[in-house]
Amino acid sequence: MSACLRDTAGREIVFKKKSPERTTGKLTDAFSTPVYNQDGKSVSPDSRTLQDVVVDFLEKDVGGDLKSLKNVGNLLKKLMEENSVLEDQVLSVSSSVPPKVSAALSAAEEARCSLENLQKRERLISNTLHQHLQGAQPWMDNLSQTLNHVDTIERHMKYLRCLQHIEELSAAVQQCLMTSSVWEAIRAVDAMAALDAGLNQSQCSHLQDFLRETLHFWHKIIKDRLTIDFEKVLTQLHWPILSPPTQSLTPTTNGQEINSQLELLVTQLLALQTSYLSPQALFFSVDISPPLCLPIQIMLQPLSKRFRYHFYGNRQTNSLSKPEWYLTQVLMWMGNSATFMEEKIQPILDRAGTAISARVELCRGLLSLVQDKVAIDASRLLYDDVLFCHLVEEVLQFEKELRSNQSYPAVLPGLLHLLLEDTVLQKWLTVERKMAVEKMDAMLSAEGAWSSQYKDISDMDELKAPDCAETFMTLLQVITERYRGLPCPSAQLKFLGLQRELVDDFRIRLTQVMKEESRCPLGARYCAILNAVNYISTILGDWGDNVFFLQLQQAAVSLGEEAILGDLGVMEVGRLASLEGSLFEGLLALLDRLKGDMMGRLLEWTMREITEKTKPYCQDRWLSLPSQQDQSTMTLSSSACPMMLCVRDRLLNLNQVLSLSLFQLAWQGLAERLDNFLYQDVILCNHFSDGGAAQLQFDMTRNLFPLFGHYCKRPENFFKHVKEACIILCLNVGSAILLRDLLKDSEETRDVAGIQDPPPESALNELGVYCLAPCDVLILLKLRASLPQ
């Protein structure tokens, strides 16, 4: 069902009405009931014909039973009622729609008319405004020209007023100088400097140049006038002081008046410098040192003239081979002038409210002279190794005295930064390496290279370091002292890398010499090489705990220096960062390996000699020796004498030629090897009677062990196999049989049940046997001839 209306243009508007909701009814429900086709798929109600719906409805509600046709009347009545309800719903909805639509159309028509009226008013106002602007444009153009002209005149007036102000200040300065009103002249210059600071952002470059030229002109005039008066006062005070003062600095006549003039002039010079520098202070970087105090600049002029007269040009005092002449001269001037600066100038600076140290300022000024001179000389000496080394040594010595004797602050630069220039630093490293290599060659080829200079002083000869090793470590220490004070950690790390290269080079040289001497490991030179390796390792270990090298270690980690860290992994770098490791760990590992190889070769050679002497002892008739009761007194076996003498001599010799720590390793290693040898080649290779076992125990406990007793309190603890074997061999027969049966029973029990209670080791421990296993004890018991098998 639809309703027809017409809009204002006469066009037809059609509204299609929604179907009202269906009331309950069989026929209407038939359209909402899902239906499926022959394939089992659902069919949309919209796609079904009215005939299909009716057929379905009849089949469902009427069915095939003819008796049920009596319900057709009721069904028809019901359908008619549903149809009536639907018609009422449609009529009620269609009757309510036209009034709402009419109201909406009326409101839209009113809005359209209002919009047209507004558009007409907007066009009228726009046309009126456009006509007004066209009429006012000539006035606006004339006014703009007038304003621009006024602005130009105003800027010219300001420019002229600024020029007039500069002229007035300049005239004021001139008038003050004519009347000797210095303070007023300084204030006028201060006002001129403040004006310069105000024009700093201005684009009037010519005006700025004129102002600064004027400011510089009057500043120079005032400065020159004050300088003349200041120099006169300084002359009366005997400045400059070129030699150590021998009398009081206060003059005998007119002392009070001269001091008053000195204070006045210093104060005026300070005020003049402050006013003159106020605009330029904006351009100073925080990394640049401030200019010298103006009074100090004037005081430095006579010293600067003398310095340039003597140490520049063709003067004999200007010698590249004698940098110590001008460095020493400057240090003397600093020292001689210290009292004058502290007693005469410093109180004036303090009363003026400045935070300036007169002595430090004088040192700064003199240091600038030296810095220029050193920079020139260093560039001229890059191709002369000897003179370059001498210059570096003198600069380092000067820096040391400057910081210590002259109390020059560490925050202020001295001369060391000049040595950090790329070319100079690289030259320094190259020369250090070259000189160190030459010294290594010389020290290794020297006549007394392998003898200790403290060999006659027992208290100082614990390490027994040969002269070449001690000289080499002294060389490294000197290098350390040279670069320790450098203000740049990266430069210090370069020198540390050089030191590590030198240590490795020296280790290789020691290895080469050691191979030549390895044919006689017991010789003095071989042992001296071993002492040298141990000495270098000990010193490097101490350096690893030194604060200076720990700081370098932290710097290497933070800077990521590849030359120092090398190919270390993350774990190794982490250990260095936590100070668990050391920068010398790699070198120490190589040195320890070399030391271990040399010690092993030394002990092997010693054991070879001892073994040769022990052959008769190994072949002794241990089975046929009489029992102890048949002998009046026990004596050392005659076959053991060569062995004992050899052991004694070798221990004495090693104690004399090896350092204390190395000898500890040597005799302990020798005892361990000798213990294994005697156990394997003497005890296990023979059978023993009671007398033979007693003789063996006597030889060991009363003769061999005491040879090592000179170097420890309980030497038998280093011969555990031999000592415990003697205990087993010397047991009385009854105890030995019981022990054998116990060990056999425990062995059988262990094989069957796997449990031993109590364990056989407890019985062995009661006898003092801790090292030997039960199976070893059984073997020893079988070697006893007195036990029934």
Q: Are residues 342 and 439 in the same domain?
A: no
Q: What is the DSSP letter of 43?
A: E
526 and 436 in a single domain? The answer is: yes
In whole angstroms, give the CA distance from residue 578 to residue 573: 9
- Cα-only R_g, the chain: 57
Q: Among candidates 737, 740, 701, 743, which has minimal Cα distance to 722?
A: 701
**Run of H or E residues at 22:** none
CATH of the domain at 564: 1.10.357
Tokens 């000869």, residue located: 461
The yes-or-no verdict on residue 325 having pLDDT over 50 is: yes
Cα–Cα distance measured from residue 441 to residue 444, given in angstroms and rounded to the nearest whole number: 5
Half-sphere exposure of 208 (CA within 13 A, CB side): 12
User: Both 327 and 431 in a single domain?
Assistant: no
Question: CB neighbours of 440 closer than 8 A, spacing ≥ 6?
Answer: 472, 475, 502, 505, 506, 509
What's the pLDDT tens digit per position in 139-160? Answer: 888 888 888 888 888 888 888 8
Q: Is-contact 496 552, C-beta < 8 A? A: yes
Q: Model confidence over 364-390: pLDDT tens digits?
A: 999 999 999 999 999 999 999 999 999
CA pair distance 469, 537, nearest whole angstrom: 11
Check whether residue 716 and residue 660 sit in a common domain. yes
Residue 759 backbone dihedrals phi, psi, to 5 degrees: -70, 150
Answer with the one of 393, 419, 445 that is the final residue of a domain.
419
Tell which of 357, 389, 419 closes a domain. Answer: 419
Distance CA 659, CA 532 (A): 10
Do 452 and 466 touch, CB atoms closer than 8 A?
yes
According to the model, what pLDDT value does residue 785 have?
A: 85
50 in any annotated domain: no
Give mean pLDDT, residues 578-587: 79
Residues 400 and 438 in one domain: no
pLDDT tier for residue 458 given thresholds of 50, 70 and 90: low
| Residue whose token pair is 């925080």 | 286
Q: Are residues 556 and 677 in the same domain?
A: no
Quote the pLDDT of residue 722.
94
Taking only the tens place, the pLDDT of each residue in 597-632 is 999 999 999 999 999 999 999 988 888 887 766 566
**Same domain, residue pair 671 and 769:** yes
Same structural domain, 395 and 489: no
Output the pTM of the full model. Answer: 0.72
Residue 301 lies in a domain: yes
Q: Is 699 exposed, middle or buried (0-12, 13-18, 19+ CB in 10 A)?
A: buried
Name the nearest CA neighbour of 637 among 610, 619, 649, 651. Answer: 619
Cα(first)–Cα(last) distance of the chain, in Å?
A: 132
| Confidence category of residue 521, pLDDT binned at 50, 70, 90 | confident
Q: Is residue 44 domain-resident?
A: no
Does residue 128 sit within a domain? no
pLDDT of residue 407: 84
Tell me: the pLDDT tens digits for 523-554?
A: 889 999 999 999 999 999 999 888 998 888 88
Question: What pLDDT band is residue 205 in, cutting at 50, 70 and 90?
Answer: confident
User: Are 392 and 482 spatial neighbours (Cβ–Cβ below 8 Å)?
Assistant: yes
Provide the pLDDT for residue 89.
75
Read off the pLDDT band of 359 (50, 70, 90): very high
Residue 605 domain-assigned (yes or no):
no
DSSP 456: T
The token duo for 445 is 């080829």
What's the full length of the chain, in residues? 789
- Which stretch of DSSP H or E encloses residue 16? strand 12-16
Q: What is the pLDDT of residue 313?
A: 87
Tens-place pLDDT, residues 110-121:
888 988 888 888
Non-local (6+) Cβ contacts of 268 within 8 A are 182, 183, 186, 226
Over 50: is that where the pLDDT of 283 sits?
no
Pairing of strands 35-36, 42-43: antiparallel
Q: In the structure encoding, which two tokens stand for residue 439, read together?
A: 């010294």
Quick check: 259 and 351 in contact, CB under 8 A? no
Placement of tokens 């796609």 in the chain: 47
Residues 576 and 635 occupy one common structural domain: no
In this structure, what token pair is assigned to residue 395? Answer: 């600069």
Q: How far apart are the C-alpha atoms of 294 and 290, rounded to whole Å?
A: 11
Q: Which amino acid is at 74?
A: N
Considering the domain architecture, whether residues 489 and 562 belong to the same structural domain is answered as yes
Q: Which of 384, 419, 454 is the last residue of a domain?
A: 419
Q: For residue 628, what are the domain limits?
A: 616-783
Shared domain check, 429 and 405: no
Are 185 and 166 contacting, i.e. CB atoms less than 8 angstroms apart? no
Q: Is residue 129 included in any domain, yes or no? A: no
Q: Kindly tell me if the per-residue pLDDT of 60 is higher than 80.
A: no
Q: Is the pLDDT of residue 512 over 90?
A: yes
What residues contact residue 70 under an 8 Å CB cut-off, 6+ apart? none
Would you tell me the crossing angle of helices 489-517 and 547-559 to the nearest 10 degrees? 110
**The domain that contains 696 carries what CATH number?**
1.20.58
What SS3 state is found at 753? coil
Q: Quote the crossing angle between the two packed helices 255-277 and 182-198, to the nearest 10°.
A: 10
Helix, strand or coil, per DSSP, at residue 201: coil
Backbone angles phi, psi at 6, to 5 degrees: -125, 140
Question: Given pLDDT bands bounded at 50, 70 and 90, which one contains residue 417?
Answer: very high
Q: Which residues of 559-576 are buried (b: 16+ CB within 10 A; e: fewer)?
A: eebeebbeebeeebeebb
The percent of the chain in helix, strand and coil, each rounded to the nearest 5, is 75, 0, 25
Q: What is the 3-state secondary structure (H, E, C) of 612-675?
A: HHHHHHHCCCCCCCCCHHHCCCCCCCHHHHHHHHHHHHHHHHHHHHCCHHHHHHHHHHHHHHHH
Domain count within the chain = 3
Q: Find out whether 493 and 564 touch, Cβ atoms under 8 Å.
A: yes
**What amino acid is encoded at 786 in this protein?**
S
Q: What is the pLDDT of residues 31-56, one digit of tens each?
A: 444 554 545 445 555 555 667 776 67
Percent of the chain with pLDDT over 90: 43
Residue 71 lies in a domain: no
Using pLDDT thresholds of 50, 70 and 90, give the confidence band for residue 428: very high
**Residue 360 near residue 295 (C-beta atoms within 8 A):** no
Instruction: Give tens-digit pLDDT for 662-699.
Output: 999 999 999 999 999 999 999 999 999 888 999 999 99
Q: Name residue 165's amino acid.
A: H
Q: What is the mean pLDDT of the chain?
A: 83
Q: Are 727 and 739 in contact (CB under 8 A)?
A: no
Question: 396 and 460 share a domain?
Answer: no
Region of poorest pLDDT, from 198-202, 262-266, 529-533: 198-202
Question: What are the two backbone dihedrals, phi and then psi, of residue 4, each rounded to the nearest 5 degrees?
Answer: -105, 125
- Residue 466 to residue 525: CA distance in whole angstroms: 9
Q: Is residue 504 part of a domain?
A: yes
